[in-house]
Amino acid sequence: MRNKTYLLLSFVLVHWGCQETPSILIDKNLKEVATFPIGLAVQANYLTNLRYSKTVLEEFNSLTAEREMKQNVLMPEPNTYNWIYADSIIAFAERHQMRVHGHTLLWHSSIPYWLDLFQGTDAEFETLIKTYIQTVVSRYAGKITSWDVVNEAFEDEGGELRNSLFQRRIGDDYVAKCFQWAREADPDVLLFYNDYGLVWNKSKCEAVIKMLDDFENNNIPIDGIGLQMHISDNYPRNSDIEKAVDLFVERGLKIHFSELDVRVNPNGTATELTQKLAEQQFRKVKAITEIYNTIPTAQKSGITLWGLRDNESWVLAHWGNLDWALFFDEKYERKLAHQGFLQAF
């Protein structure tokens, strides 16, 4: 009975009065208030749009290629590199003194078609991957501050290494080898392991921690961890995000909230971004930025938004329903989510 009264009381407090009502209090750009790099995933062709690039320059100080530095784009045919798109993003960043975080040297979802069909021996495959990684890292040495070396190497269930082409051809130590190859190619670039689900998937998180232990025991270089942060307004819980962040902070790694978007329509029932949904998104963005703010300064490598405008977000095609996961609407207007970030400082 006491429990029920308590629940009722907290429900009343939260819904009538004691929960902060978001409003636009601060008229600033993200980069004006952020005490760490604030990044955006861009596509090269978007940057040629003046309205788009103006917003990017006003709000952000770090860039990541949403697609253009993935292996299927950089090496579309055997022995053939296509640098055009990646170079244009680097050139834009250089012109405007922006940081570049590289994404991603290896990912099971961006394997070029011809590599899947590769007929050579395992040793030849390994040499090809080593050469690929070292060619890309060397080309952008001094221009790219940090690289996601391997993306999403673990299965969702059971804490196993993902059964990928790289794992099958090179073996279970392929992740460690990739970090060593990247380090050989550039002694200064920061090396990150990037994945999703590390906050809510216990077996995956444990597998990554075990990998970090192995790296430490075998002197494999790694500087940071990217927590992808494709989240929803109601999931995962803030307390779980805090716990995961603490785990990686304790290990002395740099922490990147690497691919932030906050879905508000995960079950597909909404047909528009209502005030209520926008407010829920505000609260989630504010909460996770507050969590990020607790990380020691030297371990903050930044927060990267996975897209600028709601209508450009990958979540639309990926999940197949309407959503408004980003900080800007289709008209480049700032949303309450943008304000949520500002109010965390």
The 3-class secondary structure across the chain, one letter per residue, is CHHHHHHHHHHHHHHHHHCCCCCCCCCCCHHHHCCCCEEEEECHHHHHCHHHHHHHHHHCCEEEECCCCCHHHHCCECCECCCHHHHHHHHHHHHCCCEEEEEEEEECCCCCHHHHCCCCCHHHHHHHHHHHHHHHHHHCCCCCCEEEEEECCECCCCCCECCCHHHHHHCCCHHHHHHHHHHHHCCCCEEEEEECCCCCCHHHHHHHHHHHHHHHHCCCCCCEEEECCEEECCECCHHHHHHHHHHHHHCCCEEEEEEEEEECCCCCCCCCCCHHHHHHHHHHHHHHHHHHHCCCHHHEEEEEECCCEHHHCHHHHHHCCCCCCCCECCCCCECHHHHHHHCCC
Options 71, 145, 146, 151; binder of ligand XIL; rule CB under 6 A: 151
Known catalytic membership, residue 66: no
Known catalytic membership, residue 160: no
139 binds ligand XIL (CB under 6 A): no
143 binds ligand XIL (CB under 6 A): no
Give the shortest CB-143-to-ligand XIL separation in angstroms.
Answer: 20
Give the shortest CB-225-to-ligand XIL separation in angstroms.
Answer: 13
Query: Which lies closer to ligand XIL via its Cβ, residue 126 or residue 312?
Result: 312
Give the shortest CB-101-to-ligand XIL separation in angstroms.
Answer: 12
Within 63-82, which residues bind ligand XIL (CB under 6 A)? Answer: 66-67
314 binds ligand XIL (CB under 6 A): yes
108 binds ligand XIL (CB under 6 A): no
Within 15-44, which residues bind ligand XIL (CB under 6 A)? Answer: none
Query: Which lies closer to ligand XIL via its Cβ, residue 61 or residue 313?
Result: 313
Query: Which lies closer to ligand XIL via its Cβ, residue 67 or residue 143?
Result: 67
Query: Which lies closer to ligand XIL via its Cβ, residue 146 or residue 228?
Result: 228
**Token couple for 162:** 């993902």
CB 309 within 8 A of CB 328: yes
| Count of residues near ligand XIL by CB under 6 A | 6
Per-position x/- string for 254-293, each x denoting binding to ligand XIL as judged by CB under 6 A, each - no binding = -----x----------------------------------
Query: Which lies closer to ligand XIL via its Cβ, residue 259 or residue 310?
Result: 259
Q: Which of 66, 126, 152, 279 is catalytic?
A: 152
Query: Which lies closer to ligand XIL via its Cβ, residue 64 or residue 343?
Result: 64
**Site residues (CB under 6 A) for ligand XIL?**
66-67, 151, 228, 259, 314
Known catalytic residues are 152, 259
